[in-house]
Amino acid sequence: PAEMPAIIRTAKEGAAGTPIVAGCGLGTHMAVEMAQAAEAAGADGLLLLPHYLIDAPQEGLYAHVKAVCDATGMGVMVYNRDNAVLQADTLARLCDACPNLVGFKDGTGDIGLVRQVTAKMGDRLTYLGGMPTAELFAEAYLGAGFTTYSSAVFNFVPALANRFYAALRAGDRATCEDILKSFFYPFME
């Protein structure tokens, strides 16, 4: 965490106006400190990663996310995954209490929960798919109201990742299926 401010400042200098979203997480106290340090260093937003190690009840998740949102004026996106899975009602309460809660990234793959969230929250939040190898889930997430996702393969096959995304957004299922069969499914094996 101590390296975050220098990394954020360096990213801001080289980003040519591209917004910098900093990650924060671990325990609540550390997440609050990281959020404040990121804001002071010039970050434009936060991705609140799951807390460390153990599961938490919905009230504990509520308190954790609210504490981070209350500690900063930046927009916060929660990352729903692993031991930090917010249910739709808890997320709705957080949206009511935290005007700077602006996004929901899902890494659970629970399309039923995802759809419940998008139905309940509508356009109150920005939605981002966060499953590992997100392209495998992109069509289902698009149907659930997620317009984009984080692509891990973009880091090493960016042209293919961009081609898949363009086909997805154009509704070109044949191209999506071809890319899934020729690259993503073999890659996963």
- Which of the residues are catalytic? 79, 105
- Crossing angle of helices 4-14 and 28-40, in 10° steps, is 40
CA distance 65 to 43: 18
Biggest distance spanned by C-alpha atoms of the chain: 48
- What is the DSSP-derived secondary structure letter of residue 181? I
Read off the tokens for 138: 């992109």
Q: Hey, which residues does 127 pair with through a beta bridge?
A: 104
Q: Is 18 exposed, middle or buried (0-12, 13-18, 19+ CB in 10 A)?
A: exposed
Q: What is the CA radius of gyration of the chain?
A: 17
Sign of torsion over alpha carbons 154, 149, 106, 188: negative
d(CA 10, CA 15): 8
Q: What angle do CA 122, 101, 57 make, to 5 degrees?
A: 95
